[in-house]
Structure 1
Amino acid sequence: MSYSVNKVWLLGNAGADAVSNSLGNGNNVVKVTLATTRGWMEESGWKEVTDWHNVSFFGKLAEKALKIKKGMLFSVVGRNQTFVYEKDGIKRYRTEVVVDMKGELEIIGYHSHSRQERSPQAPAAQQSQPASSPRAPSQPSPHLPDDWRDGEFGADDHIPF
């Protein structure tokens, strides 16, 4: 018996808000584009390239994925799937990361500068609390570790949004 593995793990930023489409069978697919940036050093200095990944969510994770907004940092675990179709007589290919019931989605949030550009919103945990329950003193919004903002994972100026 032959064994193989098709598992993709990505961590990056949403290129646009997630979009939901009906499949016609009562189910929905939620699609979002994820940007990852890779870099390397050359004699002329640091070089970076942004790769764009098409991600499709199904099932319960599709509902969760609708919360993804442009610029949000999120992580997915899914599988690569390539679709073949014909357009104008030309055979074309589209590769997606498919995240279904076997996949994972973690929405991490915005980078520090992105949060400041957006209107303040209460965290989801606070929105679901009953009005009568006492609230803890206001805490600053969680942020990325320092080593993600500087150094190897570099300042956010290379992110394409």
Structure 2
Amino acid sequence: MARGINKVILVGNLGNDPDTKYTQGGMAVTRISLATTSVRKDREGNSQERTEWHRVVFFGKLGEIAGEYLRKGSQVYVEGEIRYDKFTGQDGVEKYTTDIVANEMQMLGGRGGGEGGGGYADRGERPQRSAPPRRDFGGGGQPPRNAPAPAAAAPAAGGFDEFADDDIPF
């Protein structure tokens, strides 16, 4: 078997403003504290909320974008991987940390200022392009014989490469 999978997906709100620092090489490293809340019912039927706090780290261009556009209270979607580290503190005691190293980020919602909507990934260095809608014909991905041919896609807005449905492999 090949490799394992280490993938984390979080949707939550920032508990503080991003903290951006730069390495000696000039790479941005931005840290945020992200709260996720889940709700469940107890035996008596009362709603019980539980909030978890996650340490999220963004590197490079994604770190610059997160530091510039995210603010305390912002809602954000983050994809990344979980990373455990161990270090010895100044007092000689071993300490452990758990971080989410983000490789994708999507700003959600708004706080009245029109925020939200931008999707970013560290490998593309620019906003993510949304994939065209998939056509589901319910037959293993194959259209029925009498189905009309798909129409050409409308030109994409925002200056990204334009393509027609014929260029899509599904």
| TM-score bracket relative to the smaller structure | 0.5 to 0.7
| Residues paired across the two proteins, number | 114
Give identity over the alignment, percent: 33
State the distance in 1 between where 2:116 and 2:2 align.
45
1:43 corresponds to: 43
State the distance in 2 between where 1:123 and 1:83 align.
33
Pick closer, same or farther for the CA change 1:51–1:26 going to 2, 3 Å. same
Task: Give the unaligned 5+ runs of structure 1.
Answer: 116-120, 126-161
1:90 corresponds to: 93
2:3 corresponds to: 3
**2:72 equivalent to 1:70:** yes
State the distance in 2 between where 1:97 and 1:13 align.
15
Please report the TM-score for the alignment, with normalisation by the length of structure 2.
0.61
Task: Tell me which of the two structures has the higher relative contact order, counting C-alpha pairs closer than 8 angstroms and 6 or more residues apart.
Answer: 1
State the distance in 2 between where 1:15 and 1:38 align.
16
Calculate the aligned-residue CA RMSD, in Å. 2.0
1:80 corresponds to: 82
Pick closer, same or farther for the CA change 1:107–1:96 going to 2, 3 Å. same
CA offsets 1:59-111 (integer angstroms, 9 cap, x no match): 11112101110111000111111111112121111111112xxx21101133x
Matches within 5 A, 1:1-161: 1-44=1-44, 45-66=46-67, 67-87=69-89, 88-99=91-102, 103-110=103-110, 114-115=111-112, 121=113
Deviation at 1:34, TM superposition (A): 0.5
State the distance in 2 between where 1:35 and 1:107 align.
15
- Please give the secondary structure, in 1, of the residue aligned with 2:40: strand
Deviation at 1:122, TM superposition (A): 6.1
Deviation at 1:124, TM superposition (A): 8.9
Considering fraction of residues, name the structure with more helix: 1
Task: Give the unaligned 5+ runs of structure 2.
Answer: 118-170
